[in-house]
Amino acid sequence: MTATLILWSHALAALLFGGVALWTARAPTSGSPRRALTLALALTSLWALAVAGIGAGEMVTRIVETLRNLAWLGFMITLHRRDANDRPPLALGTVYGVVALVSVCALVFHIAANVDASVAAEQIASTALLLRMLVAVAALVLAQALYSALNPSAGGGLRWIVIALAGMWIAEFALCCTEYVGAEPHAQSIAARGVAMIAVALAMVTALQRKGDLDVQVSRTVAYQSLSLVAIGAYFALLALATSAIATIGGENARIFQTAFVLGSTAAILTLVSNGWLRAWTKVKLAKHLFRHRYDYRAEWMRFTETLGAPDGAAPLDERIVKAIADLTESPAGLLLVPDGVGLGPGASWNWDRGSFPVASDAPLADHLAATGRIIELDGIRGDSSPPDAAPIPRWMLDMADAWVLVPLPHLGNLAGAILLARPPLDRALDWEDFDLLKVAGRQVASYLAEARAQEALADAQRFDEFNRRFAFILHDIKNLVSQLTLTARNAERHADKPEFRADMVATLKDSAERMNALLARLSQHHRGRSEAPHAIEVQPVVRRAATARARQHPVHISGVSNAIAHADPMGLEQLLNHLVQNAIEASAADAPVTILVGADGLNVTIDVIDQGCGMSPAFVRDKLFKPFVSSKSGGFGIGAFEARQIAAAMGGRIEVMSREGHGTRFRVVLKAAHAADLRQERAA
């Protein structure tokens, strides 16, 4: 039953692959991928036919299988060569070449095992099987890399082909594993592989019915990973060959020698891999000899911007800037030199002790970098008796053995700073790619520095603006206090002998002192005000306090409802009324009283401040009344009405004005009404 399944599954697979190859060869689309695909499909059909006709373990079948593997590897590398940008890097071609060589070596070992009838034939056959397993694993990794490198514009057909290839290599690897465990091929596994190849052929048919460009984008990371895979595979192949040789010539102590070799070679490999200098040297050599460019600019720029754009809570911006530049050249540390007066002084550092740098700034260095914008290699200056850039470089920088390169940061014709980089693990001279990359990165971080400094300057300006604004409000309040004290002093000349006046004068002075202390507190830069969130309050007590404070200098009458309850900040409301009442007093004659009228309609609470003074024109009310520093009174600051409207808005209210020239003015404060239940709840809380 199993033999029949092997025969018919592989025969059907041969028929399907042959039909697909014929269809591909006669397709109107031409080009090397089409020809390479046709060849691979034809050899796969021939291999499946050989398995069905003469058996999976025969020499001819192995030869055709090797040719099939080489054809599919050729098709995969051909896809890379169709990249629209350039040929694939030499690293990727090296990987495919090594995998192809391992496949050929597996065939050679299989032939040798069949020719040699000695005891070593079994070990040679085992080595050939291990190499076949290595080819299957390497081909799987390459298929995954090819799938990841597909051009985003490519159609789904190519993706189906790559997936089908992965399925074929998985089937091969599974068969090799079962053969390695059982020391001979299992008929069931061979039959299962035949079924899998039918599925692969059907996937190929589906893929070729889809349209799409066969371009791929070769990733440098994939190339490095593929080279790492080749190195690992070569290491395991070496272990397999060495242990097999030791088993042949080691005699009774073969197992001890094998263990010692495996442990010793593994320890040596791990020691070499953990060496930072060796890793850096390897990366530089690979980039120099296998790629057209030293850097993978896409990856470098993504890492660069990710470092600069780290979220809040990360290192400060200055330190991130140094790290971003240092990472480009794998420098282990860096120092930011910032403008300090007329020169450059040490700023933020990354992995470098700032205690080893001088505190004083250096003016000649700043002038030189600003004038030339050149990147300076310090080793070139140290080794040249009369270098052109030696004069502006400070002695402390040249005396530091770790100081390597100085990168200026120009921005819009000015020097935003400079970055001193430490020597990388692999010491080398900069080439044109290093200079270009550092120059572009330097301009980029200079813009970040300039923006950060502009933000700091803006914040300082805003703090000064807030201070000036607070001072303008307080100056207005001081003017009111001065007016009150002036009136008290003038009345004292006539009524100083009256006990009632003296008591009233003492109360006025105490109130003025308290208000002046409050003004000083408001002027402090640490003061944030004592305002409360609007809540339910009784309006009448607040109105009474505002009227009493001004009653000593002018008659103020209170009328209207006495039980009005509003949502307001009591201190803010009192300050608002003080402004409006003071303005009304200053606009009124000495014998004309100011009236405060409280009203309530269930939705709103209104507080009217009414005077019988000179009034204001409609144009002044509309265009100038609520603007700061604009006043209709001589010597006025124009702050009271402006601040009053801001306070009302903060409480969710508004101020309405009704005025006629020669007939007086009515300021109406409109607040949201509250209920008695809200007031009781506030008091209970």
With beta carbons less than 8 A apart as the criterion, state whether 20 and 44 touch: no
Written out in words, the top-level CATH class of the domain with range 535-684 is alpha beta
Residues 108-130, mean pLDDT to the nearest whole number: 75
Q: Return the pLDDT at 233.
A: 62
Banded model confidence at residue 608, pLDDT cuts 50, 70, 90? very high
Banded model confidence at residue 395, pLDDT cuts 50, 70, 90? confident
Residues 304-312, mean pLDDT to the nearest whole number: 78
CA-based nearest residue to 456, from 317, 272, 353, 349: 317
Q: Return the pLDDT at 386.
A: 54
The CA-atom distances, in angstroms, between 340 and each of 323, 325, 343, 434 are 21, 21, 5, 28
Banded model confidence at residue 267, pLDDT cuts 50, 70, 90? confident
Of 163 and 247, more confident: 163
CATH superfamily of 307-453: GAF domain (3.30.450.40)
3-class secondary structure per residue, 474-525? HHHHHHHHHHHHHHHHHHHHHHCCCHHHHHHHHHHHHHHHHHHHHHHHHHCC
Q: Is 126 helix (H, G, I), strand (E, B) or coil?
A: helix
Residues 626-631, mean pLDDT to the nearest whole number: 71
Q: What's the Rg (C-alpha) of the chain?
A: 44
Helix then strand then coil, % of the chain, to nearest 5: 65, 10, 25
Return the sign of the alpha-carbon dihedral for residues 659, 665, 671, 677.
negative
Mean of per-residue pLDDT scores for the chain: 78
Q: Is 659 helix (H, G, I), strand (E, B) or coil?
A: strand
pTM score: 0.41
Whole-number Å distance between alpha carbons of 468 and 477: 14
Of 335 and 111, more confident: 335
Q: Return the pLDDT at 654.
A: 93
**Most confident among 220-229, 268-277, 384-393, 577-586 (mean pLDDT):** 577-586
76 pLDDT more than 90: no
Residues 320-331, mean pLDDT to the nearest whole number: 90
Q: Which of 157-161, 228-232, 265-269, 406-410 has the lowest mean pLDDT?
A: 228-232
Q: State which H helix or E strand residue 655 sits in.
A: strand 654-660
**Tens-place pLDDT, residues 483-529:** 777 777 777 777 777 777 777 777 777 777 777 776 666 655 444 44
223 pLDDT more than 60: no
Of 138 and 274, more confident: 138
With beta carbons less than 8 A apart as the criterion, state whether 102 and 135 touch: yes
218 pLDDT more than 50: no
Banded model confidence at residue 565, pLDDT cuts 50, 70, 90? very high
Q: Return the pLDDT at 2.
A: 73
Residues 376-396, mean pLDDT to the nearest whole number: 73
